[in-house]
Amino acid sequence: MSNNKARFLSVLIALAAILVPIAVHAQDSYLFASVNGNTQNLGGAVFQYTPPGAQTTFAPGLSRPRGLAIYHGDLYVAANTLDPVTGNLQSSIMKVTASGVQTLFATLSTVNSAAEGIAIDRAGNVFVVAFDQNSPTVASTIFKFTPDGAESAFGSLPGQGLGVAFDAAGNLFAADATDQIIFKFTPAGASSVFVGPAAFTSVQGPVGLTFDRSGNLWVTTEGNEGGPGGDAILVFAPDGTDSTFATDLADPRGIAFDPSGDLFVAELKAAAQGDILKFSKDGSQTVFASDIGRPQGNGGPEFLAFRGGPPPMP
Protein backbone atom coordinates (compact mmCIF):
# COMPACT_ATOMS: atom_id res chain seq x y z
CA MET A 1 0.00 0.00 0.00
CA SER A 2 1.34 3.44 -0.93
CA ASN A 3 1.94 6.09 1.69
CA ASN A 4 -0.91 8.22 0.28
CA LYS A 5 -3.38 5.35 0.49
CA ALA A 6 -2.23 4.53 4.01
CA ARG A 7 -2.69 8.16 5.09
CA PHE A 8 -6.14 8.29 3.45
CA LEU A 9 -7.20 5.10 5.23
CA SER A 10 -5.98 6.40 8.58
CA VAL A 11 -7.99 9.61 8.06
CA LEU A 12 -11.15 7.61 7.32
CA ILE A 13 -10.66 5.51 10.44
CA ALA A 14 -10.15 8.63 12.54
CA LEU A 15 -13.29 10.25 11.12
CA ALA A 16 -15.34 7.13 11.82
CA ALA A 17 -14.12 7.10 15.41
CA ILE A 18 -15.38 10.67 15.77
CA LEU A 19 -18.65 10.49 13.84
CA VAL A 20 -20.05 7.19 15.14
CA PRO A 21 -20.16 8.28 18.82
CA ILE A 22 -21.70 11.59 17.72
CA ALA A 23 -24.47 9.76 15.84
CA VAL A 24 -25.11 7.43 18.79
CA HIS A 25 -25.19 10.38 21.18
CA ALA A 26 -27.70 12.21 18.99
CA GLN A 27 -30.03 9.19 19.04
CA ASP A 28 -29.92 9.21 22.85
CA SER A 29 -32.23 12.24 22.67
CA TYR A 30 -34.86 10.46 20.56
CA LEU A 31 -38.18 10.31 22.40
CA PHE A 32 -40.55 7.33 22.19
CA ALA A 33 -44.27 7.59 22.98
CA SER A 34 -46.81 4.77 23.15
CA VAL A 35 -50.04 5.81 21.42
CA ASN A 36 -53.32 3.98 21.92
CA GLY A 37 -54.55 4.95 18.43
CA ASN A 38 -57.98 3.59 17.58
CA THR A 39 -57.99 1.50 20.81
CA GLN A 40 -58.45 -1.71 18.80
CA ASN A 41 -56.22 -4.77 18.45
CA LEU A 42 -53.17 -3.79 16.37
CA GLY A 43 -54.46 -0.20 16.26
CA GLY A 44 -51.75 1.35 18.41
CA ALA A 45 -48.11 2.22 17.83
CA VAL A 46 -44.95 3.67 19.29
CA PHE A 47 -44.00 7.01 17.78
CA GLN A 48 -40.41 8.26 17.64
CA TYR A 49 -39.53 11.95 17.88
CA THR A 50 -36.23 13.59 17.02
CA PRO A 51 -35.05 16.47 19.27
CA PRO A 52 -36.63 19.07 16.90
CA GLY A 53 -39.95 17.17 17.11
CA ALA A 54 -40.07 15.29 13.79
CA GLN A 55 -42.41 12.31 14.22
CA THR A 56 -42.14 8.85 12.68
CA THR A 57 -43.85 5.57 13.49
CA PHE A 58 -41.21 3.38 15.09
CA ALA A 59 -43.31 0.33 16.01
CA PRO A 60 -46.71 -0.02 14.26
CA GLY A 61 -49.45 -2.59 14.77
CA LEU A 62 -49.44 -2.80 18.57
CA SER A 63 -52.52 -3.59 20.63
CA ARG A 64 -53.23 -0.92 23.25
CA PRO A 65 -49.54 -0.16 23.99
CA ARG A 66 -48.75 1.25 27.41
CA GLY A 67 -45.50 1.27 29.39
CA LEU A 68 -42.12 1.74 27.69
CA ALA A 69 -38.59 0.98 28.84
CA ILE A 70 -35.27 0.77 27.01
CA TYR A 71 -32.45 -1.62 27.88
CA HIS A 72 -29.22 -1.96 25.89
CA GLY A 73 -30.86 -0.26 22.92
CA ASP A 74 -33.95 -2.48 22.82
CA LEU A 75 -37.40 -1.04 23.51
CA TYR A 76 -39.81 -3.01 25.69
CA VAL A 77 -43.53 -2.26 25.33
CA ALA A 78 -46.53 -3.42 27.37
CA ALA A 79 -49.33 -4.46 24.99
CA ASN A 80 -52.90 -5.61 25.61
CA THR A 81 -54.86 -7.76 23.15
CA LEU A 82 -58.61 -8.33 23.47
CA ASP A 83 -59.99 -11.71 22.43
CA PRO A 84 -63.01 -10.90 20.21
CA VAL A 85 -64.68 -14.21 21.06
CA THR A 86 -64.24 -14.52 24.84
CA GLY A 87 -63.80 -10.82 25.59
CA ASN A 88 -60.74 -11.65 27.68
CA LEU A 89 -57.67 -9.44 27.70
CA GLN A 90 -54.25 -11.00 27.20
CA SER A 91 -51.28 -8.82 28.06
CA SER A 92 -47.75 -9.23 26.79
CA ILE A 93 -44.40 -7.52 26.54
CA MET A 94 -43.05 -6.81 23.09
CA LYS A 95 -39.35 -6.29 22.39
CA VAL A 96 -38.39 -3.91 19.57
CA THR A 97 -34.79 -3.67 18.40
CA ALA A 98 -33.15 -0.38 17.44
CA SER A 99 -33.90 -1.20 13.80
CA GLY A 100 -37.61 -1.70 14.55
CA VAL A 101 -37.84 -5.51 14.52
CA GLN A 102 -40.63 -6.69 16.84
CA THR A 103 -40.61 -9.96 18.79
CA LEU A 104 -42.67 -11.29 21.67
CA PHE A 105 -40.59 -11.14 24.85
CA ALA A 106 -43.14 -12.58 27.30
CA THR A 107 -46.85 -13.17 27.87
CA LEU A 108 -48.42 -12.57 31.25
CA SER A 109 -49.70 -15.79 32.81
CA THR A 110 -52.93 -14.17 34.06
CA VAL A 111 -55.94 -13.30 31.92
CA ASN A 112 -57.72 -9.93 32.13
CA SER A 113 -54.74 -8.26 33.74
CA ALA A 114 -54.18 -4.97 31.90
CA ALA A 115 -50.45 -4.24 31.64
CA GLU A 116 -49.44 -0.63 32.23
CA GLY A 117 -46.05 0.68 33.40
CA ILE A 118 -42.71 -1.03 32.73
CA ALA A 119 -39.30 -0.59 34.36
CA ILE A 120 -36.05 -2.52 33.91
CA ASP A 121 -33.37 -2.98 36.56
CA ARG A 122 -29.62 -2.94 36.01
CA ALA A 123 -29.52 -6.73 35.59
CA GLY A 124 -32.04 -6.63 32.74
CA ASN A 125 -35.02 -7.92 34.71
CA VAL A 126 -38.28 -6.48 33.35
CA PHE A 127 -40.98 -5.37 35.78
CA VAL A 128 -44.53 -4.66 34.62
CA VAL A 129 -47.55 -3.64 36.68
CA ALA A 130 -50.93 -5.01 35.58
CA PHE A 131 -54.32 -4.41 37.16
CA ASP A 132 -56.94 -7.15 37.46
CA GLN A 133 -60.05 -6.08 35.56
CA ASN A 134 -62.08 -8.76 37.36
CA SER A 135 -61.18 -7.51 40.83
CA PRO A 136 -63.74 -5.33 42.67
CA THR A 137 -60.88 -3.09 43.82
CA VAL A 138 -58.96 -3.32 40.50
CA ALA A 139 -56.06 -4.78 42.47
CA SER A 140 -52.71 -4.96 40.67
CA THR A 141 -49.75 -7.30 40.48
CA ILE A 142 -46.17 -6.37 39.68
CA PHE A 143 -44.70 -9.15 37.56
CA LYS A 144 -40.96 -9.72 37.22
CA PHE A 145 -39.47 -11.28 34.10
CA THR A 146 -35.86 -12.41 33.98
CA PRO A 147 -33.86 -11.58 30.83
CA ASP A 148 -34.84 -14.98 29.41
CA GLY A 149 -38.56 -14.33 30.02
CA ALA A 150 -39.19 -16.39 33.18
CA GLU A 151 -42.10 -14.87 35.16
CA SER A 152 -42.64 -14.44 38.89
CA ALA A 153 -44.89 -12.24 41.06
CA PHE A 154 -42.76 -9.50 42.62
CA GLY A 155 -45.37 -7.48 44.54
CA SER A 156 -48.95 -6.27 44.63
CA LEU A 157 -51.00 -3.09 44.95
CA PRO A 158 -54.51 -2.83 46.42
CA GLY A 159 -55.77 -0.65 43.55
CA GLN A 160 -55.05 0.28 39.93
CA GLY A 161 -51.31 0.39 39.27
CA LEU A 162 -50.02 2.58 36.49
CA GLY A 163 -46.49 4.03 36.51
CA VAL A 164 -43.36 2.35 37.90
CA ALA A 165 -39.78 3.62 38.21
CA PHE A 166 -36.49 2.62 39.82
CA ASP A 167 -34.41 4.91 42.01
CA ALA A 168 -30.61 4.87 42.00
CA ALA A 169 -30.50 2.34 44.84
CA GLY A 170 -32.60 -0.19 42.92
CA ASN A 171 -35.85 0.37 44.81
CA LEU A 172 -38.98 0.13 42.67
CA PHE A 173 -41.69 2.78 43.08
CA ALA A 174 -45.24 2.04 41.92
CA ALA A 175 -48.21 4.40 41.56
CA ASP A 176 -51.59 3.17 42.86
CA ALA A 177 -53.95 5.68 41.26
CA THR A 178 -57.21 4.61 42.89
CA ASP A 179 -55.84 4.43 46.43
CA GLN A 180 -53.73 7.60 46.03
CA ILE A 181 -50.57 5.84 47.21
CA ILE A 182 -47.04 5.52 45.87
CA PHE A 183 -45.51 2.29 47.14
CA LYS A 184 -41.79 1.60 47.52
CA PHE A 185 -40.43 -1.91 47.00
CA THR A 186 -36.92 -2.90 48.01
CA PRO A 187 -34.92 -5.11 45.61
CA ALA A 188 -36.03 -8.06 47.76
CA GLY A 189 -39.70 -7.14 47.33
CA ALA A 190 -40.48 -5.68 50.77
CA SER A 191 -43.07 -2.92 50.36
CA SER A 192 -43.81 0.28 52.24
CA VAL A 193 -45.85 3.43 51.63
CA PHE A 194 -43.66 6.22 50.27
CA VAL A 195 -46.48 8.79 50.18
CA GLY A 196 -50.20 8.35 50.80
CA PRO A 197 -53.50 10.12 50.13
CA ALA A 198 -52.48 13.16 52.19
CA ALA A 199 -50.01 14.06 49.42
CA PHE A 200 -52.81 14.45 46.86
CA THR A 201 -56.09 16.32 46.58
CA SER A 202 -59.34 14.44 47.09
CA VAL A 203 -59.68 13.63 43.39
CA GLN A 204 -56.03 13.28 42.32
CA GLY A 205 -54.23 9.99 41.86
CA PRO A 206 -50.56 9.33 40.98
CA VAL A 207 -50.02 8.01 37.46
CA GLY A 208 -46.63 8.53 35.77
CA LEU A 209 -43.34 8.29 37.68
CA THR A 210 -39.72 9.23 36.91
CA PHE A 211 -36.62 10.21 38.88
CA ASP A 212 -34.29 13.14 38.28
CA ARG A 213 -30.53 13.05 38.78
CA SER A 214 -30.88 14.29 42.38
CA GLY A 215 -33.14 11.43 43.40
CA ASN A 216 -36.38 13.41 43.40
CA LEU A 217 -39.49 11.55 42.24
CA TRP A 218 -41.60 13.38 39.64
CA VAL A 219 -45.24 12.36 39.47
CA THR A 220 -48.11 13.14 37.12
CA THR A 221 -51.57 13.14 38.67
CA GLU A 222 -54.94 12.58 37.04
CA GLY A 223 -58.37 13.36 38.38
CA ASN A 224 -59.49 16.45 36.45
CA GLU A 225 -60.15 18.47 39.57
CA GLY A 226 -62.39 21.32 38.50
CA GLY A 227 -62.88 19.82 35.03
CA PRO A 228 -60.44 19.36 32.10
CA GLY A 229 -57.08 20.97 32.75
CA GLY A 230 -57.08 20.43 36.51
CA ASP A 231 -54.23 17.92 36.76
CA ALA A 232 -50.66 18.47 37.93
CA ILE A 233 -47.02 17.44 38.14
CA LEU A 234 -45.76 16.96 41.70
CA VAL A 235 -42.18 16.54 42.92
CA PHE A 236 -41.27 14.43 45.95
CA ALA A 237 -37.88 14.72 47.63
CA PRO A 238 -36.26 11.48 48.85
CA ASP A 239 -37.80 12.08 52.30
CA GLY A 240 -41.30 12.44 50.82
CA THR A 241 -41.52 16.23 51.06
CA ASP A 242 -43.63 17.41 48.14
CA SER A 243 -43.93 20.48 45.94
CA THR A 244 -46.02 21.36 42.90
CA PHE A 245 -44.13 21.84 39.64
CA ALA A 246 -46.98 22.44 37.18
CA THR A 247 -50.78 22.70 37.23
CA ASP A 248 -53.69 23.06 34.80
CA LEU A 249 -52.69 20.01 32.76
CA ALA A 250 -55.11 17.71 30.93
CA ASP A 251 -54.73 14.02 31.78
CA PRO A 252 -50.91 13.95 32.07
CA ARG A 253 -49.61 10.40 32.07
CA GLY A 254 -46.13 9.43 30.83
CA ILE A 255 -43.25 11.52 32.17
CA ALA A 256 -39.54 11.31 31.32
CA PHE A 257 -36.32 13.32 31.41
CA ASP A 258 -34.11 13.54 28.36
CA PRO A 259 -30.33 13.13 28.79
CA SER A 260 -29.85 16.91 29.09
CA GLY A 261 -32.39 17.23 31.93
CA ASP A 262 -35.43 18.64 30.11
CA LEU A 263 -38.75 17.14 31.20
CA PHE A 264 -41.35 15.72 28.80
CA VAL A 265 -44.94 14.88 29.71
CA ALA A 266 -47.66 13.16 27.66
CA GLU A 267 -51.13 14.67 27.91
CA LEU A 268 -53.55 11.90 27.05
CA LYS A 269 -56.59 14.22 26.78
CA ALA A 270 -59.36 11.65 26.76
CA ALA A 271 -61.76 14.13 25.13
CA ALA A 272 -59.39 15.35 22.38
CA GLN A 273 -56.19 14.55 20.51
CA GLY A 274 -53.21 14.40 22.83
CA ASP A 275 -49.92 16.24 22.96
CA ILE A 276 -46.47 16.09 24.54
CA LEU A 277 -45.29 19.02 26.66
CA LYS A 278 -41.67 20.01 27.19
CA PHE A 279 -40.46 21.75 30.33
CA SER A 280 -36.98 23.22 30.10
CA LYS A 281 -34.65 23.26 33.08
CA ASP A 282 -35.76 26.82 33.90
CA GLY A 283 -39.38 25.64 34.11
CA SER A 284 -40.65 27.21 30.89
CA GLN A 285 -43.33 25.15 29.13
CA THR A 286 -43.79 24.54 25.41
CA VAL A 287 -45.80 22.09 23.28
CA PHE A 288 -43.28 19.65 21.84
CA ALA A 289 -45.77 17.63 19.74
CA SER A 290 -49.51 17.93 19.21
CA ASP A 291 -52.53 16.33 17.52
CA ILE A 292 -51.52 12.83 18.60
CA GLY A 293 -54.11 10.07 18.33
CA ARG A 294 -57.75 10.30 17.41
CA PRO A 295 -59.83 13.30 18.52
CA GLN A 296 -62.03 11.33 20.92
CA GLY A 297 -61.64 8.60 23.46
CA ASN A 298 -58.48 7.22 25.02
CA GLY A 299 -56.44 7.38 21.81
CA GLY A 300 -53.55 9.71 22.62
CA PRO A 301 -50.02 9.30 24.00
CA GLU A 302 -49.68 7.08 27.06
CA PHE A 303 -46.10 6.56 28.30
CA LEU A 304 -42.72 8.01 27.32
CA ALA A 305 -39.09 6.87 27.20
CA PHE A 306 -35.80 8.24 25.88
CA ARG A 307 -33.26 6.05 24.14
CA GLY A 308 -30.52 7.57 26.26
CA GLY A 309 -32.58 7.39 29.43
CA PRO A 310 -32.57 10.06 32.14
CA PRO A 311 -29.44 12.00 33.10
CA PRO A 312 -27.20 9.95 35.42
CA MET A 313 -27.37 10.24 39.18
CA PRO A 314 -24.45 12.22 40.67
Strands 301-306 and 31-35: antiparallel
Query: What is the rounded distance in angstroms from the CA atom of residue 135 to the CA atom of residue 158?
Result: 10
Query: What is the rounded distance in angstroms from the CA atom of residue 314 to the CA atom of residue 312?
Result: 6
At 311 the three-state DSSP class reads coil
At 70 the three-state DSSP class reads strand
* CA angle, 84 then 89 then 95, to 5°: 110
Residue 39 corresponds to which amino acid?
Answer: T
pLDDT of residue 46 exceeding 80: yes
Structure confidence by residue, pLDDT tens digits, 65-109: 999 999 999 999 999 999 999 999 999 999 999 999 999 999 999
Say if 141 falls within a structural domain.
yes
Query: What is the rounded distance in angstroms from the CA atom of residue 251 to the CA atom of residue 222?
Result: 5
Which CATH number belongs to the domain containing residue 127 in this structure?
2.130.10.10
The mean pLDDT of 304-313, rounded to a whole number, is 72
Least confident of 8-22, 123-137, 166-180, 278-292: 8-22
Facing residues of 219 across strands? 209, 234
Place 12 in a pLDDT band, splitting at 50, 70 and 90.
very low
Structure confidence by residue, pLDDT tens digits, 148-200: 999 999 999 999 999 999 999 999 999 999 999 999 999 999 999 999 999 99
Helix (H) or strand (E) holding 277: strand 274-279
Query: What one-character DSSP code corresponds to residue 199?
Result: G
Say if 21 falls within a structural domain.
yes
Range of the domain at 40: 3-306
Say if 314 falls within a structural domain.
no
Say if 311 falls within a structural domain.
no
pLDDT for the residue numbered 226: 44
Facing residues of 283 across strands? none
Strand ranges in 1-150 using DSSP code E only, listed in sequence order: 31-35, 44-49, 55-62, 68-71, 74-82, 89-96, 102-107, 113-120, 126-132, 140-145
Say if 140 falls within a structural domain.
yes
Say if 312 falls within a structural domain.
no
- The strands making up 44-49's β-sheet, listed across from edge to edge, are 55-62, 44-49, 31-35, 301-306
Q: pTM score, two decimals?
A: 0.89
Write the CA distances from 268 to 31, 157, 160, 210, 287, integer angstroms: 16, 23, 17, 17, 13
Give residues with Cβ within 8 angstroms of 74, minimum separation 6: 95, 96, 97, 98
Say if 158 falls within a structural domain.
yes
Structure confidence by residue, pLDDT tens digits, 244-293: 999 999 999 999 999 999 999 999 987 888 999 999 988 899 999 999 98
Say if 117 falls within a structural domain.
yes
Strand ranges in 135-180 using DSSP code E only, listed in sequence order: 140-145, 151-157, 161-166, 172-176
pLDDT averaged over the chain? 89
Q: How many domains does one find in the chain?
A: 1
Q: What's the alpha-carbon Rg for the chain, to the nearest Å?
A: 20
Specify the higher pLDDT residue, 11 or 275. Answer: 275
Q: Which of 73, 57, 139 is nearest to 307 (CA)?
A: 73
Query: What is the rounded distance in angstroms from the CA atom of residue 176 to the CA atom of residue 187?
Result: 19
The mean pLDDT of 192-219, rounded to a whole number, is 94
